[in-house]
Amino acid sequence: MAQTSVIDPHSACPLCLSAGGQVLWRAERWRVVRVEDADYPGFCRVIWNAHVAEMTDLGPADRNELMHVVFTVESVLRDRLRPRKINLASLGNQVPHLHWHVIPRFEDDAHFPDAVWAARRREVRAPAVDAAALRQALADRFAATGAQEI
């Protein structure tokens, strides 16, 4: 009998293989990371830990949990950085593993008012973000909602 070769479809997924950024908080089913992007030092991602492609691949309770985290990150970024706008996006065309971009935008950032995926409008030196303070602010918010860090 011929042996069937089974290739794990997730073995090449960068969000299965690595954290995908500097981990700010890791819970059982999701994590929040800060993206290494010199233009956008406050750029965070909320990543669902399991390899799932679309929001509607999750059940309603999981969707709500994930969006609650996205909005918590939005709220903390607004409080700490006072951006002109928050950009939220779940795209996943290149990495179809559910992750939300949460991007604080400023009028003088590299692409404003365009999307960060558009052509750059200007060269910038974005001010540093205090990642430890950001992490603490998130920790305070998640601890208050009972999200366990693992």
Residue ranges in contact with a copy of itself by CB under 8 A: 53-56, 63-64, 67, 71, 74-75, 78, 84-94, 96, 105, 112-115, 117-119
Burial zone of 81 (CB within 10 Å; 0-12 exposed, 13-18 middle, 19+ buried): middle
Q: Which residues lie below 8 Å from residue 65, measured CB to CB, with a gap of 6+?
A: 29, 30
Q: Which is nearer to a copy of itself, 118 or 133 (CB)?
A: 118
Alpha-carbon gap, residue 34 to 110, rounded angstroms: 18
Q: Closest distance between a copy of itself and the C-beta of residue 47, in Å?
A: 15
Q: Which is nearer to a copy of itself, 3 or 42 (CB)?
A: 42
Q: Closest distance between a copy of itself and the C-beta of residue 54, in Å?
A: 6
Q: Which helix (H) or strand (E) holds 78?
A: helix 60-81
Q: Which is nearer to a copy of itself, 70 or 129 (CB)?
A: 70
Helix, strand or coil for residue 122? Answer: coil
Q: Closest distance between a copy of itself and the C-beta of residue 41, in Å?
A: 18
Alpha-carbon gap, residue 51 to 6, rounded angstroms: 17
Q: Which is nearer to a copy of itself, 33 or 116 (CB)?
A: 116
Q: Which is nearer to a copy of itself, 28 or 117 (CB)?
A: 117
Q: Closest distance between a copy of itself and the C-beta of residue 86, in Å?
A: 6
Which of 57, 30, 54, 55 lies closest to 44 in space, CA to CA? 30
